[in-house]
Amino acid sequence: MLQEVHVGHKSLADYQSMVVKPLVEEIRELAEALKGMRVLHINATSFGGGVAEILYTLVPLMRDVGLDADWRVIMAAQEFYESTKLMHNALQGNPQGLNKAQQDIYEEQSRLATESLGGGFDFIIVHDPQPLLLRHFAGDLGAKWIWRCHIDTSSPNPELARYMLPFVQLYDAAIFSMDKYVFEGLDIPIKVYMPAIDPLSTKNMVLSPEDADYVVSQFGVEPGPPLLLQVSRFDPWKDPLGVIDAYRLVKKEFASVQLALVGSMATDDPEGWAFFTKTVEHAGDDGDVLILSNLNNVGNLEVNAFQARADVVIQKSIREGFGLTVSEALWKVKPTVGGNVGGIPQQIREGETGFLVDSVDQCAERCMWILDHPEEARNMGRAGKEHVRANFLMPRVLRDYLRLFSELTK
């Protein structure tokens, strides 16, 4: 089935002081011609990932400018999520794809979910592989269908890509985060739109240093020593084990340094628990390593506090569709060390807003440089915030969708 997600209220006017005036004017002009049109977003989870965070802001903003926008998540049997997690990994290059039995589960659960879709929509945006087949089973319903892929598909498992391609071809348009992610052989209209953060969300609003210190102290962070931080799902593609290894190298030079790994357990990620356990085992009994999740009452406010308190924010991904946590850190004026993969280089300008790394040793070296050069690091953080302001704030994503809607209606 498809379950509705309830969202709060957002006003475009509240963002006007953070983005350039021509962007707001273009949004208003585009929205005027689209007023009253019904828009439906569909994805796999309402919490625990970047897609959900985007939709909690994007859907209310669409409503604020006059669209009749809704959001639903696909609810299915556990075997469905196990299959779609294999798909996610395979799209990022894992050699294991879906066998026939797993394809059958994926298709049957998708067919069942389609029964609760209904009609009357002008635009249906399907996010990532989990709900991909809804277009196949539902038909066009008189709507324009858009598939939005948030994953790094630069080197997908060829067999899985061939399986998915005919289903993607049914859509009226597809959106990818980078040119190199576009499926080979796809000949529907393609857009390349990068994600963005909500600067007014609980996760990104301004916290005073005193408030941030107080919040993180409740989880055992000492107020004086430097703090390294990675905020990510517990997933091998995010490489938390490599982050722990880099921290151990840093600790040889900065004996008091602390490390926090903060993530969330999402409903569409059945592998998360196993890798969380593996991460805890890799950290061992080191009291300066904190491994926390939403199950420790770490929500958006707490993530904000950890990012605000951190001396270095790390995103040492091996594969990464975009990595919103990088923009979150830069928005908080934090020098950031990221894996040189996916969308991270779009956010980190090497040596200007942070550093890009390809190994544990490089990660450790860059973290130590930042700790050794606090003034230069602050300048990096300031440059990073302005880079995010210009490119990665949510009103720009709203504008991108309105442009596409306008093109499709013509």
Stretch 216-230: mean pLDDT:
95
Please provide the distance, in angstroms rounded to a whole number, between the alpha carbons at the two ends of the chain: 32
Tell me, yes or no, whether 274 and 368 share the same domain: yes
Q: What is the pLDDT of residue 35?
A: 97
Q: What is the pLDDT of residue 297?
A: 85
Q: What is the pLDDT of residue 240?
A: 96
Q: Beta strand 68-74 with 2-4: parallel, antiparallel or unpaired?
A: antiparallel
Q: Is the pLDDT of residue 295 over 90?
A: no
Tell me, yes or no, whether 247 and 307 share the same domain: yes
CB count in 10 Å sphere of residue 355: 24
Residue 382 included in any domain: yes
Tell me, yes or no, whether 338 and 402 share the same domain: no
Domain tally, the chain = 2
Stretch 58-71: mean pLDDT:
98
Tell me, yes or no, whether 8 and 94 share the same domain: yes
Tell me, yes or no, whether 300 and 312 share the same domain: yes
Tell me, yes or no, whether 258 and 224 share the same domain: yes
pLDDT tens, residue by residue, 333-392: 999 999 999 999 999 999 999 999 999 999 999 999 999 999 999 999 999 999 999 999
Q: Is the pLDDT of residue 267 over 70?
A: no
The CATH number assigned to the domain holding 344 equals 3.40.50.2000
Tell me, yes or no, whether 290 and 245 share the same domain: yes
Tell me, yes or no, whether 126 and 93 share the same domain: yes
- Residue 77 sits at φ, ψ, to 5 deg, of -70, 155
Residue 203 included in any domain: no
Tell me, yes or no, whether 145 and 238 share the same domain: no
The alpha helices in 92-234, defined as continuous H runs, are: 100-114, 134-138, 158-168, 209-217
Residue 47: in which H helix or E strand, if any?
Answer: none
Q: What angle do CA 116, 128, 38 make, to 5 degrees?
A: 50
Stretch 256-262: mean pLDDT:
97
Q: What is the pLDDT of residue 334?
A: 96
Residue 64 included in any domain: yes
Residue 202 included in any domain: no
Q: How far is CA 119 from CA 14, 124, 309, 333, in A?
A: 33, 10, 47, 45
Tell me, yes or no, whether 378 and 403 share the same domain: no
Residue 169 included in any domain: yes
Residue 204 included in any domain: no
> What percent of the chain shows pLDDT beyond 70?
99
Domain that holds residue 61: 2-196+393-409
**Would you list the DSSP string of 66-91?**
T-EEEEEEE---HHHHHHHHHHHHHH
pLDDT band at 266 (very low <50, low <70, confident <90, very high): low
The CA distance from 389 to 383, in Å, is: 10
Q: How far is CA 367 from CA 285, 289, 338, in A?
A: 23, 16, 10
Tell me, yes or no, whether 400 and 365 share the same domain: no
Residue 201 included in any domain: no
Tell me, yes or no, whether 215 and 301 share the same domain: yes
Q: What is the pLDDT of residue 355?
A: 98
